[in-house]
A and B are shown apart, each in its own frame.
Chain A
Amino acid sequence: MREFLLLLRPGLLTLKNYLKDPGPGGRIKLVSLGAFALALWVALFFLSLKMIRSFYSVEGFGDILAYKTFNILWLTGAAFLIFSAVITALSSFYLAKDLGLLMAAPVSRESVFWARSLQSFLASAWMPAAFVFPVFMAYGWHFRASALYYLLWPLAALGVALASSFVSQAAVLLLVNVLPARRTKDIMSLIGLLSFVALYLVFRLLRPEQLVNPDNLQSVAGYLASLRTPTSPMLPTAWATDLLWPLLGGRAEEFRWVHLFLLGLGAVILGLLTSYGAELLYWVGYNKSQEGAGRQRAGGLLSLLAGIFRLVKNPEARALMVKDFKIFFRDHTQWSQLFLLGALMIIYLYNFSVLNLKRYPLQAFFLENTIAFLNVGLVGLVSATLALRFAFPSISAEGFSYWIIRSAPMATGEFMRHKLVFWLVPILAVALSLTHLTNRFLNAVPVMSVTSFILTLLLTPGLCALAVGLGARFPRFETENLAQVPTGYGGLIFMVSASLALLLIIGLSAWPVVAYLRIRRRAMEWGLREEILIPLMGALVLTLAWQLWRRPFRVGRAALEIYDEETRSLDQKAEATEEAA
């Protein structure tokens, strides 16, 4: 036990030291992240409340829908936890840098395993727990649940989370004895991402909006009736549902303590099985994981494709772009995000293709063109998301190798400009394609098509420059997983700034567009007001887009130039990271 507690100390001390001194601007970051999390909780709580109320607006099915959603919530949370726990368990048990030190120390492997097990559990459980918490609280609030519901929920959540985590840990113990640890992590991350994309596509392509179409009510009623069948009673998620559901909506007589007992017993049995598995497999698997993951060599196809950068005349820009291109396609955490991008685009275009505005013949012209204009804002949001995913982490992508850039004969501004161009070209291509295709689906008039094109051309470079600028302002060179960079404080600032910029530019352009549509529809003449205000608004939009392009980039460049002053030095940070890991 003493060893187990001792092994937990580095993690606890790191946390304590961070809270004591979070570094320059750290307290502001902590407070604003806390405020953001709270706002998200409140939003989730009220959205869930609205959802539960809407269930009861469908007469006869409210209870079934609420119950099924309650059960699905447990299932989704557990499934999410199982996937993320596989990744964290792989890292904690086999890939962490300090394992070599611990394995050489005079401590038992059992203590190492259990300390890592707890760390992995906490690392994987906090996020699903944080997301489902406000939804379960909304259930309690809606049904005016007794105190027992709020007391039992954490226990039920703990039981489900422990059971899910043990399942993942046992799976990892087995998997690493079949596949190399690093490859297993890659495969699992990819499977997780692909499952998400598939689920997302299937859900959207099923057209759930048809559920509220009265023509289809007959079949929906039949479907819901089929849902009355009981769920699998052997899963901890079902025990959690059966434990808490009777406490909602005056069903107290159905409440049974046995479900809590089952949850506890399930977690204990799975824990014992994991313990037995660890005894048999952990040390064997650890040794295997040290033997290498199979070598990846520089491939011919990628080099061939990188030949396109011969078109770039500047040798430094070309060198940087070829390097970034190859690294992007060799790192699964980076290229796999293209699946998300593909799904996003398919759904986006699909939504417009099924939008039937001809149902409103009198307003069709106005609606189609107004939506074509508002679509610029939506395309802007897509561009902002892409910029956040790809352009924002591009500076941090240099990692500890950033010394190569700093000591090379290249100014910080040039380095950032090459990064910007590298990402701007594909993001702009996506944004313009989306604008063009949606305009075609909407039958937008030529003037509106050109306007939306111009606005997209103005907005996208600004958003990319904002992403690179803020990426340089908030670099995370020490990160091991680049996909996590956009989820940090800098990413949050980027999304807030990008949304504000979008709102401002779309807001300023709205009046001229609406004025034009009104004049065109009513076949009116241009008035003096339009002749003055339209160029004025245009000039304001241009100024804003220009500032968006220039300012954040400058701020980022200045911050990156003095990066070492704030952090003492990247080398020291590298040293600290190695030691802390």
Chain B
Amino acid sequence: MGDAVIRLERVSKNYRQHQAVIDLSLAVPAGEIYGFLGPNGAGKTTTIRMLAGALAPSSGRIFLAGRDLAKNPREAKSCLGYIPDRPFLYEKLSGWEFLLFTAGLYRVPPREAEARAEELLNIFELWDWREELIENYSHGMKQRLIMSGALLPKPRILVVDEPMVGLDPRGAKLVMDIFRRLAQEEGVAMFVSTHTMSLASRLCDRIGIIYKGRLKIEGTEKELREKAGLAGDLEELFLGVTADEPTESGA
């Protein structure tokens, strides 16, 4: 896939004796939402953290918008927005201050940063809370603030780990609509890891299933059914592909 915005080439990650990710290659073009599924301990979070530049691969290469993440980390990461599953933030900053801090890290000019921050806080329904310290936010509000921060520098790539954790149905719908609009209208390439099959089915254009560190299968839902020779919905497909062993913890 020549015009891929996210490209992983034979990426592996070892933790001492344990191989968390083995020889993983995949590509995501602009405007596509790629769902990354797998049981606990399959290597999803490790892959996500490598993509976000928070963890170096043991071997292989990662390209973000054509830039090698290992050789040009600054340029590669400047195109990326990362949304982790746990909303760890600076509790003693206000929501507004956090967004301006993020803008500084991504070198967004101050005026543009303020306009973007206002827009995003309104979109994510946090405007009335902008002066409150983050320590007073609920889990869902923190998650929405992280999303605002990730979107503030207008990234070409969005890497998302469990997007709906802690969000109420209204928040979840809001996020799903935003993700779709970003992909379709702004051509953002999205890499989404999730356990929620219904979400993957509704949101993602293509899906990859990782199991024991290896990418077992990928394609559209229809292609997955054909390749696996299984019928039924995505949940049944997932259970079929990862059937041979019970789940474990830790990635």
Contacts and interface: CB of A to CB of B under 8 A. Distances in A.
Interface of A: 295-298, 315-316, 318-320, 322-323, 326-327, 330-331, 399-401, 403-411, 561-562, 564-565, 568-572, 574-575
Contact of B90 (A323, A406, A572): A323
A330 B46 CA distance: 34
B38 interface: no
3 nearest A-B residue pairs (beta carbon): A319-B104, A298-B94, A400-B88
A564 B77 CA distance: 18
B102 A404 contact: yes
Contacts of A330: 92, 133
B105 A327 contact: no
Interface stretch (B52-60, B117-125, B170-178, B185-193): B52-60
A568 B15 contact: yes
Contact of A406 (B52, B75, B92, B251): B52
Given A407-B52, A407-B53, A407-B54, A298 B131 contact: yes
Contacts of B52: 403, 406-407
A318 B78 contact: no
A408 B80 CA distance: 8
Classify chain B's interface size. 35 or more
A575 to B, nearest CB: 8
- Point out which of B53, B74, B77, B104 has the most chain A C-beta atoms below 10 A from its C-beta: B104
A298 B105 contact: no
A406 B53 contact: yes
6 contacts: A316-B105, A403-B88, A405-B105, A408-B77, A410-B105, A562-B56
Interface in B92-113: 92-94, 96-97, 100-107
A296 B106 contact: no
Contact of B54 (A323, A403, A572, A575): A403
Given A295-B136, A403-B54, A323 B97 contact: yes
A298 B96 contact: yes
A54 B49 CA distance: 63
Contacts of B89: 401, 404
A570 B251 CA distance: 12
B90 A407 contact: no
Contacts of A565: 15, 56
B104 A295 contact: no
Nearest to A562: B56
B54 A564 contact: yes
Contacts of B54: 403, 406-407, 564, 569-570
B47 to A, nearest CB: 12
B45 A571 contact: yes
Interface string B66-90: 0000000111111010101110111
Contact of A409 (B73, B92, B97): B73
Nearest to B107: A315
A419 B75 CA distance: 22
B86 A571 contact: yes
A405 B102 CA distance: 9
A561 to B, nearest CB: 8
Nearest to A561: B56
B55 to A, nearest CB: 5
Contacts of B96: 298
Contacts of B77: 407-409
Chain A interface main SS type: helix
B229 interface: no
B105 A409 contact: yes
Nearest to B90: A401
A411 B92 contact: no
A330 B75 CA distance: 34
A569 B49 contact: yes
Contact of B84 (A326, A399, A571, A572): A571
B250 interface: yes
Given A400-B86, A401-B89, A326 B107 contact: no
A564 B251 CA distance: 13
A295 B92 CA distance: 11
Contact of B101 (A319, A399, A562, A574): A319
A297 B131 contact: yes
Contact of A298 (B45, B97, B106): B97
B75 A407 contact: no
Nearest to B20: A568
Contacts of B132: 295, 297-298
B75 A409 contact: yes
A331 B49 contact: no
Contact of A297 (B49, B94, B103, B105): B94
Contacts of A315: 104, 107
A299 B217 CA distance: 52
Contact of A407 (B82, B93, B101, B250): B82
Name which of A295, A323, A403, A408 has the most chain B CB atoms within 10 A of its CB.
Answer: A408
Contacts of B133: 295-298, 330
Nearest to A406: B54
Contact of A327 (B84, B92, B149): B92
B82 to A, nearest CB: 4
A316 B86 contact: no
Contacts of B46: 569
A341 B215 CA distance: 56
B202 to A, nearest CB: 26
A401 B45 CA distance: 17
Contacts of A561: 56
Contacts of A322: 97, 100-101, 104
B176 to A, nearest CB: 23
A207 to B, nearest CB: 41
Given A315-B104, A330-B133, A562-B56, 9 more contacts: A316-B104, A322-B100, A323-B97, A331-B92, A406-B54, A407-B53, A407-B80, A409-B76, A561-B56
Contacts of B93: 298, 323, 326-327
A574 B106 contact: no
B74 A409 contact: yes
Contacts of A570: 54
A569 B53 CA distance: 13
A408 B74 CA distance: 8
A572 B18 CA distance: 15
Given A407-B53, A407-B54, A407-B77, A326 B92 contact: yes
Contacts of B94: 297-298
Nearest to A182: B135
Interface string B119-147: 00000000000011101100000000000
A230 B85 CA distance: 64
B104 A399 contact: no
A395 to B, nearest CB: 14
Contacts of A574: 86, 88
A411 B97 contact: no
B64 to A, nearest CB: 11
A410 B86 contact: no
A157 to B, nearest CB: 39
A295 B101 CA distance: 22
Contacts of A327: 90, 92-93
Given A409-B75, A409-B106, A571 B49 contact: yes
Given A297-B133, A569-B55, A319 B74 contact: no
A564 B105 contact: no
A359 B45 CA distance: 72
A408 B88 contact: no
A400 B146 CA distance: 14
Nearest to B48: A571
Contacts of B74: 409-411
A408 B52 CA distance: 9
